[in-house]
Chains A and B, each alone.
Chain A
Amino acid sequence: MHIILCTKQVPDSTDMRIDPKTNNLIREGVPSVTNPPDLYAAEEALRIKEKFGGILSVVTMGPLQAESSLRELLAMGADYAYHVSDRALAGSDTLATSYTLYMAIKKIVEIHGPFTFIFFGRQAIDGETGQTGPGVAARFGIPIITYAYKIQEINLEEKYVIANRKTYDGEEIVKAKLPAALSITEEASKPRVPSISDIIKAYRAKIVRWNKDDLKLEDDKIGLRGSPTFVKRVFAPPPRKKGQIFDGRNREKDAAIWLVDNLIKVNAFSEKVAEKYEEVKPLPIAQDKTKKFGEVWSTVEHRYGKADSVSWELLGEARRLSRLLGVKCAAVIVGHNIKHLIDECASYGADKVYYIDHPILEDYRTEPYSFALTQLCLKYKPDILLMPGTQNGRDWAGYVATLIPTGLTADGTQLDIDPATGMLLGTRPDFGGNEMSTIVCPKHKPQMVTVRPRVMKIPPKIPNPNVEMIQEEVEIAENKINTQLLKFIPREKIKLEEAKIIVSVGKGLGSPKNLYIVEELAKLLNAEIGATRAVVYSGWLPKDRQVGQTGLIVRPRLYIAIGISGAIQHIVGMQNSDIISAINIDPEAPIFNVSDFGVIGDLFKVVPLLTEELKSRGIKYG
């Protein structure tokens, strides 16, 4: 068996520092490490190799320094290492990267024989797109199981693999025909630590290096030239607006009332909903007849006949962008038995709804969904395509972008139209939000962007009787599809990252016995409980509650920090919350620098009073 692992070297994120003067990420002197998710992918690959016998080839595209990552993987147990390095590759976006890796893997196959698996880490922690895996799979025409955390079964005679993967709404068990690609999450088996003799052997091992000529790469498909997207601007995220602080010492009841008043005023307890519908005016460039902008589309994410609200968030944004360009906006529904969703699309503002209804599209699967959407895009040529940044959305977007081909920006948090050119400007966070970059896709259509749930507001419903419906047919035979959804398991409990309200505790709580104070508040608000690293390390709460640089990055509607001083590593994990409130006895606590509403006071008095006040006002989440 021949397994291929694609890897990337990235800056060590645990060492990230912000230059306090410029607010920019300090990149020099930051050591580079193997992308941590790739180590999990390597572990899975090695386990399969050990079970079935065979070889593991690792390949990376990167500067000369990336060689140390290859040696690390050789030390773990990989057999061969290939390093694609060439100045001409600099500036490659995911399309150019997947092309380069595709060509490299073809050459590796010439040397070692055909592959059974191509493994990827879930995503690189710097670019955070997760698009390269689907891109490479699309080029080989093989299925990919993204966000896989457990491989259940591999059958070499009948040529299939069954794996469990995480989705936004739960878990899927997917069966894919071999050869197949997989991207592995950090919930998979912990990567082995190489022994010193392994490291020494790897140090001495030979690594094959290829440049663009060795792989016969076409100049217009690599590097900047081959990248539909490029980074127009990198900038520091704007600092949070300074919040208000109430000194609640000896005035705890007043503090609780003040806090509740303010939180209600800013709608902390409900979703970010736009109150009334505002139609934006077209930009002057919309009048330019020579420009001929296409439509703005957004896809609908659904399961078992129910659409996820992220679809409406995107549709609202699609409508806004379409008005700026003076064109129509459309919702795109790919699925089976989904006609009833058309009305909902209309009510959230779609001028048009394109839909494909076919039994083969019953469940989301990468290949049929991608063929369908690609067909629609090639036929109707939209200008902009927004897709949800959920696991399935990104899986879908990455594959489609490679098939069309076009540029894809991941996790856009702010979208604008450049008034001079009419191009989409997609701004997105890097390194967990410590840096922002604005990306453009000037020469390819549609300009694709994935947008995560709860970034955009859900638009208000509007009467929309004249929505135009366009039904398309697709011709895909089931025997041509290489994956099968065996089972879907809905999610039992909410993950912290998806919680709408988080009540978080720090060491100020004193002891785990006092957690009940916070649990009452959380229960009332239907909130999830988060924790600082110190609390988790003391064993008061499990690791999946940890918010921070080495824990989870969360973006809830409301984050209440109780007894948390605000170490920078914790702040990095929650600074992007919509609304932050903090309760701490220490007026100098750094948490107050990022909170919108801070209360200086004894949490043992303030929190119960807060709970009481909320109860008395009948506040619940909703």
Chain B
Amino acid sequence: MVEKFDVVVVGAGPAGVSAAIVTARAGLNTVIIERGNIPGEKNLFGGVLFKHPFEKLIPDFVKTAPLERKVVEYQYWILLDDSFIKLVYRDDAFENNPSGYTALRAKFDAWYAKKAQEAGAMLITRTQALEPIIKDGKVIGVNTDRGELFGNIVIAADGANSLLAQKAGLHDEWKPHQLALGVKEVIEVQRTKIDEMFQVKTEEGVAATIIGGPLKGMTGGGFLYTDREALSVGIGVLLSDLVSNNIRPNKLYEKFKRHPAIYPYIKDGILKEYSAHLIPEGGYNAIPKLYTNGMMVVGDAALLVNVVGWEGTNLAAESGILAGETAIYAHKVKDFSANVLKIYETKLRNSFVLRDLRKFRRIPPFLYKNKHFFSSYPEMLRDILRLWHTVDGEPKEIKIKRIRDVIISKVGPIKLIKDISDLIRGILF
């Protein structure tokens, strides 16, 4: 007779582990199954993670978690074929109270999963959940490649490639324009060299968001983050754009990293890790049903990724916490049906998770339809700056006329105003 669990969490990433910590601490019999050999092995992100949900569960999170550097400086780079524009923002405020930290998944997830075990959750690795077990319209467990597992509640935290929610009928297969492919390298660079290159102290770091360059014309962006002794450099591009442009992601990545704005930082470094992963980018309107009888969906599996703020891990953790709380309540009232589990969605709606995604819901489709954002605008900006900075005796009147011409030819004043108003509407209101 197989032991029946209270909560079965599928996936030992930040979403799943957060849920497991919550339920295990409440005394619920919790098991996490993970398909990798160790948690984090099958996971990947840029990335910067924001501490706020983790501190709720682990008060000394910042001191004990294997984080890389605290982000004290944010940069925004626009790359062009022959130039680049960088905006640098550093603030003392983040030195004392940083929001974000760079981290490496393999290290972080392995540590985080141990916290769930400390709370009493069982962790079974090398086991993949294939589909939910549904009886009388209720999810009562999962079928794994090693046998069946039963639980009152299943929390599907199986990430961007999630099959559980799909097989439970909560959504159809994701379309290529709802997924981005992220490719990154972790390049080892001496710690002191990083400190010097970015003018930071050893525990401090920089997070650069990058658009343009070889990515122009596609919806996507790149990043460069400082880890302790390495630089994480990568790109994320909509799958449909890779397909329609017939570009192989590794070739695109190679071009990207060799751009003169990026290459000098990494050229003497040593490649430590090369990896790729899917990122769900459908946005608010693509979010699937988040629960059904006996099951809740959290994290990337629920498409909870904020492409505007480039936040995913904190949304995942928060959704895990809220699903965990819901599971506790369901066990209190001994009702695991959708009627009770819908509390999870309500909590999510009241939290920053769905509120943020709803707020920026117009941005993903906007960017998808307006790829010129990633090409025309950068070009326009460069042309304007170039005109302005070419001081050669030509009267400024003429320069400014040229600038107007550039705006008109690149984008057109009407489109420019429309874009600005769309963006304002999308973000500020």
Contact = CB atoms under 8 A, between A and B. Distances in A.
Interface of A: 12, 20, 29, 31, 193-197, 199-201, 203-204
Contacts of A199: 124, 127, 146
Contact of B146 (A31, A195, A201): A195
Nearest to A203: B122
Nearest to A17: B272
Nearest to B5: A200
A263 to B, nearest CB: 33
B31 A200 contact: yes
Identify whether the interface residues of B are mostly helix, strand, loop, or mixed.
Answer: strand
A196 B270 CA distance: 40
Interface string B14-33: 00000000000000000101
B254 interface: no
Nearest to A31: B38
Given A29-B107, A199-B124, A200-B2, A193 B38 contact: no
The 10 closest A-B pairs by CB, nearest first: A195-B147, A196-B147, A197-B2, A196-B146, A200-B3, A195-B146, A20-B270, A31-B38, A199-B124, A203-B122
20 contacts: A20-B188, A20-B270, A29-B106, A29-B107, A194-B146, A195-B147, A196-B2, A196-B33, A196-B124, A196-B127, A197-B3, A197-B147, A199-B124, A199-B146, A200-B2, A200-B3, A200-B31, A200-B124, A201-B3, A203-B122
Given A29-B107, A203-B122, A196 B149 contact: yes
A12 B36 CA distance: 14
Interface string B92-116: 0000000000000011000000000
B111 to A, nearest CB: 11
Contacts of B122: 200, 203
Contact of A196 (B106, B107, B148): B148
B37 interface: yes
A196 to B, nearest CB: 4
Interface residues of B, number: 18
Nearest to A14: B37
Contacts of A196: 2, 33, 124, 127, 144, 146-149
Contacts of B31: 200
B204 to A, nearest CB: 23
Contacts of A194: 146
Nearest to A195: B147
Contacts of B149: 196
Nearest to A15: B37
A203 B106 CA distance: 24
Contacts of A204: 3
Interface string B247-279: 000000000000000000000001000000000
B306 to A, nearest CB: 30
Given A196-B2, A196-B146, 18 more contacts: A12-B37, A29-B106, A31-B37, A31-B38, A194-B146, A196-B33, A196-B147, A196-B148, A196-B149, A197-B2, A199-B127, A199-B146, A200-B3, A200-B31, A200-B122, A201-B3, A203-B122, A203-B124
Nearest to B144: A196
A194 B124 CA distance: 12
Nearest to B149: A196
B242 to A, nearest CB: 25
